[in-house]
Amino acid sequence: MKHVKLFINVLSIVFLMLFSNNQILNAQTSSIKTTGDLKVFNGTYITTDDMSIDTSGSLENNGIVKVTGDITVNSAGSSSTGELVLNGSSTQTISGSEDLNVNDIIFEGAGYDVQTTVNIEGNSVFTNGVLSVDATDSIHYLSSATTSVASNSSHVDGKVSKTGSADFIFPIGDNGMVNQISIAGITGTNCFSAQYFNQAPPDNSNLDGSLNNVSANEYWTFNQTSGSSSVDATFYFNDGTVSGFTDPATTVIARYDNTSGWQDKDQTSYTGDASSGTITLDDISDFGDYTFGDVGAYLVDLTAFLEGPYNTSNGNMDKTLNTQGVIPLNQPYNTASWNYTGEESFSIIPADAVDWVLVEIRDGTDNTSVLETKAALIMQDGSIRNADNELIKYVPSGAASSLHFVIDHRNHFPVLSASATTQSGGIYTYDFSSQSDAAGKPATEVETGVYALMAGDVNADFNITAVDNTQWMSENGSTGYNYADMNMDENVTALDQIFWTNNNGKSFIMP
């Protein structure tokens, strides 16, 4: 039988120490040092100041051991099912040549200087005190381990690692601020590690084209140390002003690449608002440094032609309405059948503008769902510009997703994109001029391989009929900005009726 040596300050003993087969039943002491095998019974409670596990000793804790001082670990110890409570009134040091192996651990003290790895098999509870972990060690959670939610007053300031496939929240923070990462969607046994830094990310002015900026105040190091599963990661923020953004809808997760700098990795979803919340990115398979990036808004780069003013001699549209000065400064779609109430306007119509169009941004998974409507100008080359003479800006109300687009004009059929498109580099791009059949709706071929919105729907009811011809007849001979001016040369003449004749009988059913 191996004997247990306990070095105890006799004056501090409150309870009688009872031994049975090298097992302690109940005690309170100022210090414990094991040079043999020490077992704490299930149901047994020990309170001590310092605790030391010597190179020749071990501790099997199946009860509750409460330590208010330092812990020194020079032996790996035995498996246990008990609970270790750290409850010092000043900083407690955990050090030694071996890892500290525990089942459940409760942090209730003033703070902790962790100089060796702590392996947790059960549950950790963060009540008070920050764990400052040195750079070469970590708080490591085994496959079945769990943790309570950390807080600014109690978290791990250092690296945390997790083995297994279960969902997990890394209880990490820095400089008195907790900003955790949670992981999910793991296949098989993997090990991930995470650490939060409340400081400027490295090289944070080196950005890809879609990023306006990245956080100047925080980042995470998130790595996969074993396994090959992709992972869904949720990044927490408790103060958007620290994170450096004002709208989580336009905030993305950015990852640092040693060659190309900070890259926009997009976002899958978000919760909360600019004050606090989370941003999730699914299917991460690249690791390293991560932070929040701001795209401000996504750009929408659309190209389309109108049949009426299209000029086959130069492959562009004529801008006669513009040169004649009849294009209104304010958007004209505030009447039936559009009833659009937007206030888009120009102080000066750009020199290459052809006319106003109405653009709808629709859900990529449901092309009947209109997310946003904008009036814009269509240019001679078919590009579409907003009231700032720039690409249309789109700020999603949720995570960036695939989109459909509709372009409508006051005397042409609208077109709906045949397929959904996703953003690349912060830009959604769709070219209607190369689409012969936009979402099954009629476009017209104005020259070989070039398609345009079909002219002739003068009353904008999605049907080209005698009613449109009647309106042409009522406006025939007039000049200015008229619906029946289908070739858009400022004059309503027989040249316009040709478009009605060619397209008479066509109809459009808008989803």
Q: What is the mean pLDDT of the chain?
A: 89
Domain count within the chain: 3
pLDDT over 60 (residue 1): no
For residues 265 and 317, membership in a common domain is answered with: no
Q: What pLDDT, on a 0 to 100 scale, did the predictor assign at position 424?
A: 78
User: Is cis: bond before 434, omega within 30 of 0?
Assistant: no
Classify residue 187: in a domain, yes or no.
yes
Classify residue 291: in a domain, yes or no.
yes
Classify residue 498: in a domain, yes or no.
no
- Per the CB < 8 A criterion, the answer to whether 349 and 330 are in contact is no
pLDDT: which is higher, 6 or 359: 359
What pLDDT digit, counting tens, does each position of 340-361 carry?
Answer: 999 999 999 999 999 999 999 9
- Distance between CA atoms of residues 221 and 192, nearest Å: 11
For residues 130 and 180, membership in a common domain is answered with: no
Q: What pLDDT, on a 0 to 100 scale, did the predictor assign at position 20?
A: 36
What pLDDT digit, counting tens, does each position of 16-33 carry?
Answer: 343 334 444 555 555 677
Confidence of residue 244 (pLDDT cuts 50, 70, 90): confident
pLDDT: which is higher, 26 or 470: 470
For residues 214 and 236, membership in a common domain is answered with: yes
pTM of the model: 0.65
Phi/psi at 479 (5° precision): -125, 160
- Per the CB < 8 A criterion, the answer to whether 376 and 392 are in contact is yes
Classify residue 155: in a domain, yes or no.
no
Mean pLDDT of 285-303: 90
- Per the CB < 8 A criterion, the answer to whether 454 and 503 are in contact is yes
What pLDDT digit, counting tens, does each position of 117-140 carry?
Answer: 999 999 999 999 999 999 999 999
What pLDDT digit, counting tens, does each position of 183-233 carry?
Answer: 999 999 999 999 999 999 999 999 886 788 899 999 999 999 999 999 999
Measure Cα distances from 431 to 425, 434, 452, 460 in Å: 17, 6, 11, 23
Q: What pLDDT, on a 0 to 100 scale, did the predictor assign at position 41?
A: 87
For residues 75 and 104, membership in a common domain is answered with: yes
Confidence of residue 270 (pLDDT cuts 50, 70, 90): confident
DSSP-based three-state secondary structure for 168: strand
For residues 76 and 53, membership in a common domain is answered with: yes
Residues 6+ apart with CB under 8 A from 90: 110, 111
Residues 6+ apart with CB under 8 A from 173: 130, 150, 152, 155, 156, 157, 179, 180, 196, 198
Q: What pLDDT, on a 0 to 100 scale, did the predictor assign at position 242?
A: 83
Which of 252, 269, 296 delimits the end of a domain? 296
For residues 453 and 361, membership in a common domain is answered with: yes
- Per the CB < 8 A criterion, the answer to whether 94 and 117 are in contact is no
Phi/psi at 502 (5° precision): -65, -30
On the CB side of 390, CA atoms within 13 Å amount to: 7
For residues 137 and 272, membership in a common domain is answered with: no
Rg (CA), the chain: 34
DSSP-based three-state secondary structure for 312: coil
For residues 187 and 313, membership in a common domain is answered with: no
- Distance between CA atoms of residues 197 and 417, nearest Å: 44
Confidence of residue 398 (pLDDT cuts 50, 70, 90): low
Classify residue 490: in a domain, yes or no.
no
Q: How many CB atoms lie within 10 A of CB 267?
A: 25
Classify residue 164: in a domain, yes or no.
no
Which of 148, 181, 215 delimits the end of a domain? 148
- Distance between CA atoms of residues 45 and 469, nearest Å: 95
β-pairing, 298-303 vs 392-394, is antiparallel
Classify residue 337: in a domain, yes or no.
yes
For residues 319 and 451, membership in a common domain is answered with: yes
- Per the CB < 8 A criterion, the answer to whether 301 and 424 are in contact is no
Phi/psi at 500 (5° precision): -60, -45
Mean pLDDT of 311-324: 97
For residues 314 and 292, membership in a common domain is answered with: no
For residues 340 and 430, membership in a common domain is answered with: yes
Confidence of residue 2 (pLDDT cuts 50, 70, 90): very low
Domain that holds residue 310: 298-461
pLDDT: which is higher, 98 or 17: 98
For residues 371 and 319, membership in a common domain is answered with: yes
pLDDT over 60 (residue 288): yes
pLDDT over 50 (residue 165): yes
pLDDT over 60 (residue 3): no
Classify residue 413: in a domain, yes or no.
yes
